[in-house]
Chain A
Amino acid sequence: ELKVEQNPLFLSMQEGKNYTIYCNYSTTSDRLYWYRQDPGKSLESLFVLLSNGAVKQEGRLMASLDTKARLSTLHITAAVHDLSATYFCAVDEDSNYQLIWGAGTKLIIKP
């Protein structure tokens, strides 16, 4: 059974600090997705990582994928309050159109 584990599940940090969210998965998939969900809102796609070594960056967020280690990271640089949200990673299960989701990381950034 494919499993996707995120850690930490909760993170409270100060503005200006750097931190990393980790996403481990148990399959050989090489497609991984990061989503953001603001409180009371829907899920918004952040990054789609499609191969080993893929790295994508937008603003203060950078995501990377290591398919050999079955690990993706979401790195936050010099965090700002606006990045407070819940971040989900998901892995492609190619055989049946499904994404397998992590439990989400709730990120709170304090001014």
Chain B
Amino acid sequence: DTAVSQTPKYLVTQMGNDKSIKCEQNLGHDTMYWYKQDSKKFLKIMFSYNNKELIINETVPNRFSPKSPDKAHLNLHINSLELGDSAVYFCASSQPGQPYEQYFGPGTRLTVT
């Protein structure tokens, strides 16, 4: 059983398009995250939700919009894609009140051409 899953695994699209990435976790965790990892492997937190509430909203373009329909799902919608959005996007989850060990999904490699 996959603990944190993401779809799609690869996404190739053209500039200006709108795309979504989906994430689901079956760990029963309350908190979910979106990270962006650039070509230099640097991990940047983008958003975090706790029980469907946005708790971390780092400085990212407002073309990025997260949505959490329930605490097991956190989706990321990106409007008007730009070349600089090309990266690997990771979803993760953790359980607050315990060590904040985060469990990562397999990643979505987004390539904007």
Instruction: State whether A48 and B99 are in contact (beta carbons under 8 Å apart), knowing that A42-B107, A43-B104, A96-B56 are contacts in the complex.
Output: yes
CB distance from A77 to the nearest CB of B (A): 24
Q: Is the beta-carbon distance between B56 and A98 smaller than 8 angstroms?
A: yes
Q: Does B16 contact A (CB under 8 A)?
A: no
Q: Is the beta-carbon distance between A42 and B90 smaller than 8 angstroms?
A: yes
Q: Does B8 contact A (CB under 8 A)?
A: no
Q: Does A25 contact B (CB under 8 A)?
A: no
Give A33 to B107 CA distance when docked, in angstroms.
20
Instruction: State whether A97 and B104 are in contact (beta carbons under 8 Å apart), knowing that A37-B41, A42-B90, A103-B42 are contacts in the complex.
Output: no
Give A48 to B102 CA distance when docked, in angstroms.
10
Query: Which stretch in B18-26, B43-51, B76-84 binds the other chain?
Result: B43-51
Interface on chain A toward B: helix, strand, loop, or mixed SS?
Answer: strand
Q: Is the beta-carbon distance between B41 and A42 smaller than 8 angstroms?
A: no
Q: Is the beta-carbon distance between B99 and A92 smaller than 8 angstroms?
A: yes
Q: Is the beta-carbon distance between A98 and B43 smaller than 8 angstroms?
A: no
CB distance from A75 to the nearest CB of B (A): 21
Q: Is the beta-carbon distance between B41 and A104 smaller than 8 angstroms?
A: yes
Which residue from chain B places its CB closest to the CB of A39 in the assembled complex? B41
Give A44 to B50 CA distance when docked, in angstroms.
22
Q: Does B31 contact A (CB under 8 A)?
A: yes
Which residue from chain A places its CB closest to the CB of B30 in the assembled complex? A97
Give A41 to B41 CA distance when docked, in angstroms.
11
CB distance from B12 to the nearest CB of A (A): 16
Give A92 to B31 CA distance when docked, in angstroms.
14
Which residue from chain A places its CB closest to the CB of B6 in the assembled complex? A42
Q: Does A31 contact B (CB under 8 A)?
A: yes
Q: Is the beta-carbon distance between B45 and A98 smaller than 8 angstroms?
A: yes
Q: Is the beta-carbon distance between B100 and A43 smaller than 8 angstroms?
A: no
Residue pairs across A and B with Cβ atoms less than 8 A apart, 5 shown, are: A41-B106, A48-B101, A50-B99, A92-B99, A97-B94
Closest 8 CB pairs of A and B: A43-B104, A42-B104, A101-B43, A104-B41, A42-B106, A92-B100, A48-B101, A48-B99
